[in-house]
Amino acid sequence: MKMKVTLAVLLCSLVPASIAFAGGAGGIGYGYQYFDGRLSSSDMGMSNITGYGYGVLDDGSRVGGFGMSFISASGDAAGGVGGMLVGHEWRTGPLVAALTLWGGLGGASWAGQGCMLGYGAVEAELGVRVLPWMQIVGYAGYQAIGNFLPGIPFSRALLRTPVLGIRIGWGGLL
């Protein structure tokens, strides 16, 4: 099942990569939630694979979209979300720094029950342009994932935790 999800995300990531325009990017990424007793609500050891695409305005503002699949290390939770990303980036030479907000809706099997999810994350990114059309990005952030339906939103299941990851982006990155 993991291989099918991975292949689906890789194929879907070709769409944003094919439509990336000057100043924007599209690509794929891998992230892993890490547990910190002070910052995390639980330790699910969840990893995610993301396909994304965004454009960048002249002032450095980012606007785009993403699709993300995730699975916990134990297999107790698996699902996916899709949504929008907004942020701002700064460039100097081959370096790109950005602060990005991600938000969306999706679905999952969580603790043996299906639910609609709400997703939100804030991430700080640092990328290096390795070719005029490709960059490698490391990021650190904080995610929140919770049930949206059924029941009272974010009451039955809520996960808050730091996340680290890496992305590869391509497109008109000049």
Q: How do beta strands 47-56 and 95-110 pair?
A: unpaired
pLDDT confidence of 18, banded at 50, 70, 90? very low
The whole-angstrom separation of Cα 97 and Cα 90 is 5
Question: 66: closest CA among 94, 28, 98, 33?
Answer: 28
Of 16-25, 26-35, 145-154, minimum mean pLDDT range: 16-25
The string of pLDDT tens digits covering residues 31-69 is 999 888 898 888 888 999 999 999 999 899 999 999 999
2-170: CATH architecture? Beta Barrel (2.40)
Prediction pTM value: 0.82
